[in-house]
Amino acid sequence: MLVLVAPGQGAQTPGFLTPWLDLPGVEDRLRAWSDAIGLDLVHYGTHADADEIRDTAIAQPLLVAAGLVSTAALGAVTPGAVAGHSVGEITAAAVAGVLTDDEALALVRTRGLAMAEAAAITETGMSALLGGDPDVSVAHLEKLGLTPANINGAGQIVAAGTLEQLAALAEDKPEGVRKVVALKVAGAFHTHHMSPAVDALAEAAKKLSPADPKITYVSNKDGRTVAAGGEIVDRLVGQVANPVRWDLCMETFQELGVTAVLEVCPGGTLTGLAKRALPGVRTLALKTPDDLDAARELIAEHS
């Protein structure tokens, strides 16, 4: 069984959309979305530097657009399940047919702007903890006033909080943690610091007409599959201020009988986690159009 996954913020790199513009219709599609949401996706995906695309209000629509463009380039594909990490959940919702592509881009534009505004209230950030025992790490983070915002499995937890709290973490790592790595994100996402963004997203969600998913949808909230479109949208709204449980998502993949994981553009992060947490499962990261043939072969073998 194939699971299609979509990455979250931090996966973007300068120029990562450039090779995709060579595919027929991609630039036109990106420009149409750009006009609709008031953000030049072509510019930011091709010419902007790392600091520009680190901006939450830019990064989030850029990632969803990239995920949808790369998925469309695969042609007709019906994976056994779909999931996204953080903002990648919006990509997953569109792939599953819960939202239209246009609805997904409108929602993520609101999400990015609202989370950027919430992040500006207090200087906050996120750092990844590599290695260590999860229970020990979580207790240590709570002692420092930090939130385990992403529990990713495969020995990785992402802490979120104020810059002062993250500095204290860098000086005082939990026992067994090999390394603390500051992430290229502009806020403490999936924590109480994002609570102001929930209201804005809830208001935007009222304009949507969600359908029930056509593909099994696995939620970040608790790793459960969700069969009602309305509930998926409710979870997308609340998730901005609550932890991502990617570890539980991968446990569900196992329960569903996963044999392959395909990560849409800009792939790499989630397949890396899958390689460590799901031994024996084939993985492929769709980074450029050069990866499309291999991705189609994977789909043919495992769908």
What integer pLDDT is reported at residue 170 of this predicted model?
Answer: 94
What integer pLDDT is reported at residue 183 of this predicted model?
Answer: 87
**Nearest residue to 93 via CA among 274, 257, 246, 226:** 226
What integer pLDDT is reported at residue 155 of this predicted model?
Answer: 83
Domains of the chain: 2-120+191-297 (3.40.366.10), 124-182 (3.30.70.250)
Backbone dihedral angles phi then psi of residue 3, each to the nearest 5 degrees: -110, 130
* Alpha-carbon span 3 to 258, nearest angstrom: 7
The DSSP annotation for 139-180 comes to HHHHHTT-EEEEEEETTEEEEEEEHHHHHHHHHSPPTTEEEE
Residue type, 54: R
What integer pLDDT is reported at residue 63 of this predicted model?
Answer: 98
Give CA separation, 292 vs 70, 72, 262, 287, 298, in Å.
Answer: 9, 11, 11, 9, 10
Q: Which residues of 134-168 are buried (b: 16+ CB within 10 A; e: fewer)?
A: beebbebbeeeebbbbbbbbebbbbbbbbeebbee
pLDDT tens by residue, the chain, 303 residues: 999 999 999 899 999 999 999 999 999 999 999 999 999 999 999 999 999 999 999 999 999 999 999 999 999 889 999 999 999 999 999 999 999 999 999 999 999 999 999 999 999 999 999 999 999 999 999 999 999 999 999 788 999 999 999 999 999 999 999 999 998 787 899 999 999 999 999 999 999 999 999 999 999 999 999 999 999 999 999 999 999 999 999 999 999 999 999 999 999 999 999 999 999 999 999 999 999 999 999 999 998
Tokens of 131: 């290695």
Residues assigned a catalytic role: 86, 190
What integer pLDDT is reported at residue 10 of this predicted model?
Answer: 87
What integer pLDDT is reported at residue 116 of this predicted model?
Answer: 94
What integer pLDDT is reported at residue 186 of this predicted model?
Answer: 79
∠ at Cα 138 (88, 134), nearest 5°?
80
Specify which residues 198 forms β-bridges with.
none
* Alpha-carbon span 60 to 204, nearest angstrom: 16
- pTM, two decimals, is 0.95
Cis peptide before 243 (omega within 30 of 0): no
**Nearest residue to 82 via CA among 238, 235, 201, 253:** 253
